């Protein structure tokens, strides 16, 4: 048993999401699990013990390393090693050993419907730690359980490990199985994949390749670090030089199937966290707005697209607050239009009580 496994046991027993030795993040808050600090002399052996020598040599050389660590059958962790002013450090993110289903996550029907498509680009976005990987795993699991096909995942590192149900599953880890995201996506077309999950679209080359695969008839899932559907479209376009943006707008307008922007909030009863989703479903109006560089219209299209399952982040937050699942303060913190949200009668009432209380 590795020394650091004792800390993982505490993390798992308390239902935590992250380990920052000697602290854990539980229900969104960082809490100390040991009053004794971990010195540089103690930290390095802890990290080296669970890392293969080649990778640890890379960390010693570069000061940065990402990989996945399996703790027996208990759990997997996404590890990030870093060098800081006080010496080596690490953060470990829990990857649940059991993949939650769309039903267990209570994903909106429109999100599940995106997983039934046969082609197109589906982007799941949100800040770090917002549950993007968990949502994508549920969508991939839905495909795996419902129809035959070949699912290819390209990740750095591989997080959720899918067992074949109806699909052939191929996991490729950047740095181990393929030199880069771009190399893996480029070869994906030759690997007869029906569904491709790209852990993260990093830079214009991977974005263009993902667009091409989606336009060739693959269903492509990918993540982007943005907080809303309009911001995602702008981030995608602005990744390219001005001279290429017109062409990319055309490709994106044709290939985009949908965008799911996700935020995680504490549950009002303190039992954990819950996701709020902004959902954009591609339709002729959305395609036209992208092609004509009228991203500002996307907000109105989302608001008017309820029948297709679209919803704005603020509408999702209002629904969660109205159901008593999240507090007014936490919902307001995640809202896009904070002034409007703060004026909602019940929100204003709860915020006023909090201030006077």
Of 50, 20, 53, 12, nearest to 37 by C-alpha is 20
pLDDT tens digits, one per residue of 297-319? 999 999 999 999 999 999 999 99
- pLDDT over 90 (residue 96): no
Structure tokens at 213: 């695969």
* Greatest CA separation for the chain: 64
Domain 102-334 has CATH 3.40.50.300: yes
Q: CATH 3.40.50.300 region(s) of the chain?
A: 102-334
Pick the CATH number of 5-95 from 3.10.450.50, 3.80.10.10, 3.30.450.90, 3.40.190.10: 3.30.450.90
d(CA 322, CA 347): 9
Asked if residues 49 and 3 have their Cβ atoms less than 8 Å apart, the reply is: yes
Tokens 């690490």 identify what position? 90
Q: CATH 3.30.450.90 region(s) of the chain?
A: 5-95
End-to-end CA distance of the chain: 49
d(CA 130, CA 135): 10
What pTM value is reported for the model?
0.89
Helix (H, G, I), strand (E, B), or coil: what is residue 125?
Answer: strand
pLDDT tens digits, one per residue of 203-222? 999 999 999 999 999 999 99
Confidence (pLDDT) at 3: 92
Q: What angle do CA 190, 196, 202 make, to 5 degrees?
A: 100
| 357 band by pLDDT with thresholds 50, 70 and 90 | low
**Peptide bond before residue 311 is cis, with ω within 30 degrees of 0:** no
- Averaged pLDDT score across all residues of the chain: 94
H or E segment to which residue 44 belongs = helix 40-49
Confidence (pLDDT) at 356: 64
d(CA 187, CA 354): 56
Percent of the chain at pLDDT above 90?
86
Which residues fall within 8 angstroms of residue 22, CB to CB, at 6 or more apart? 7, 32, 33, 34, 36, 37, 38
Confidence (pLDDT) at 28: 82
pLDDT tens digits, one per residue of 101-115? 999 999 999 999 999
């Amino acid at each position: 048993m590795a020394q650091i496994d004792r800390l993982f046991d505490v993390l798992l027993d308390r239902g935590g999401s992250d380990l920052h030795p000697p602290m854990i993040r539980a229900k969104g808050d960082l809490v100390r699990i040991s009053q004794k600090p971990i010195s540089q002399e103690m930290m390095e052996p802890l990290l080296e013990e669970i890392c293969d020598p080649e990778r640890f040599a890379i960390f010693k050389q570069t000061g940065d390393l990402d990989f996945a660590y399996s703790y027996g059958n208990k759990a997997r962790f996404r590890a990030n090693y870093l060098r800081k002013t006080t010496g080596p450090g690490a953060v470990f993110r829990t990857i649940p050993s059991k993949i939650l289903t769309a039903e267990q996550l209570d994903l909106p029907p429109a999100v599940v419907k995106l997983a039934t498509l046969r082609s197109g680009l589906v982007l799941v976005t949100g800040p770090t730690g917002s549950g993007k990987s968990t949502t994508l795993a549920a969508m991939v699991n839905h495909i795996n359980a419902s129809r035959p096909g070949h699912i290819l995942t390209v990740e750095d590192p591989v997080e959720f490990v899918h067992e074949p149900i109806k699909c052939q599953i191929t996991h490729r880890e950047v740095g181990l199985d393929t030199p880069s995201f771009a190399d893996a996506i480029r070869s994906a077309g030759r690997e007869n994949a029906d569904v491709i999950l790209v852990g993260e679209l990093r830079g214009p080359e991977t974005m263009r390749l993902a667009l091409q695969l989606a336009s060739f008839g693959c269903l492509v899932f990918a993540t982007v670090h943005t907080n809303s559907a309009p911001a995602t479209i702008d981030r995608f376009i602005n990744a390219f030089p001005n001279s290429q943006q017109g062409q990319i707008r055309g490709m994106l307008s044709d290939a985009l199937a949908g965008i799911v922007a996700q935020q995680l909030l504490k549950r009002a009863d303190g039992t954990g966290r819950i996701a709020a989703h902004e959902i954009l479903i591609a339709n002729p109006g959305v395609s036209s707005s992208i092609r004509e560089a009228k991203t500002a219209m996307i907000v109105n299209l989302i608001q008017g697209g309820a029948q297709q399952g679209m919803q704005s982040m603020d509408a999702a937050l209002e629904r969660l607050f109205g159901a008593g699942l999240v507090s007014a303060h936490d919902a307001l913190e995640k809202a896009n239009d904070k002034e409007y949200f703060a004026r909602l009668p019940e929100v204003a009432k709860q915020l006023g009580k909090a201030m006077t209380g």
